Structure formats: C-alpha cells, structure tokens
Amino acid sequence: MAKLIFFLAVQILVLAVVSSTGDEGDNFARTIDRKLLGLHNKEKLTHFKVYWHDILSGPNPTSIMIQPPVTNSTTYFGGITMIDNALTAKVPTNSTLVGQAQGFYAGAAQKELGFLMAMNFVFKTGKYNGSTITILGRNTPFSEVREMPIVGGSGLFRFARGYVEARTKWFNLKNGDATVEYSCYVLHY
C-alpha cells in the first residue's frame, strides 16, 4: 500500500509540474545560430552534367509503371512510373556510374505530354558520395530544353537550391527507352 501511495504522489507531482509550465505547444521551435549548421560559409555554385538513363525494356528495367494512365488518354495523363535510373558521366549507358535518379514521374497534363517529376539524384562517387539533390518540377519531354527546380539536398548539398536543364539525347520510339542530359546548377554551402 505504501508503494501505491508513493507512486500516486509522484504522478500527482509530475502532473503539477507539467501543468504549471503553461506549455500550450508554443515551444516546439527555436531560433538557432546559423554557424552551427555551417551557414556562415560563403555559398558556392556548382555545375555538373550527368546522363539519366530511363530503361523501360528488357529483363532489368529501371522504370516501372505502377499506375496506368486513364484509358482514353493519349498523353499518359494519370499514369505513374517509379524510377531508379542510372546517372552516368557520359551518354553511353556503360560509361562511369556517378549515381542514381530515384523517384517517380506522373502524367499531369491532359492536352500534351507533360510530367510531374519528383526525384532525388543520389551521388555514389567522389567527394559527393552520399549527397543528394532533390528535383521537383514540370517536364514536357517533347520540348528541346526543359527547366526544373532543385528544391533541396543533403550531405554536401544541404540547403541546396537551383535548377536543372534536361535535354533528350536519345529516344527509342519502339520501347520508350531514353537517355537525357541533365545540366545542373546548384547553390549550396
């Protein structure tokens, strides 16, 4: 019985302390010094070019349709494709692998071929190994140049922002395989 009374007394004391702080959930955020995150350093602009290989054919496709487009669509509207595409240093698929493009593209336009692109470029070599940039934007693949924003990143690309320019280098009309050049302009610390 003494243990029960002691336990209840401790619970009442804890409840009294918590309720006396008056915390209504207002203390979930605080301002911190930018230097703690390395934001006092000068911002850098990095440019790099990679080749994105979208392979839908063969025994090991890197793009898989997970939601077919609506039945009467000629523009892939409503279709969703997950990707884990190789990023290489040169156009040939067997050139040096620098990372992977992981994410999805979805048919988002009813009157033309237009995709919502949401993907991370995950770098796997050199000083950028383990770092990522995140691209989220509109891609109209029949346009010569498509510009999409870089909305963030990780590792060496923390607090990244910028844009990419996509240019189709090769497209197979029969099976849908494609190679796209991504010229990336990244502001980061």
**Would you tell me how many other CB atoms lie within 10 Å of the CB of residue 36?**
8
The answer, yes or no, to whether residue 16 has pLDDT greater than 60, is no
Domain range annotation of the chain: 41-188
Instruction: Write down the pLDDT at residue 3.
Output: 61
CATH superfamily to which 41-188 belongs: Allene oxide cyclase-like (2.40.480.10)
What's the pLDDT tens digit per position in 138-154? Answer: 999 999 999 999 999 99
Residue 21 pLDDT grade (very low, low, confident, very high; cuts 50, 70, 90): low
Task: Name which of 114, 110, 106 is nearest 166 in CA terms.
Answer: 114
pLDDT in tens, 75-86: 999 999 999 999
So what's the pLDDT on residue 28?
83
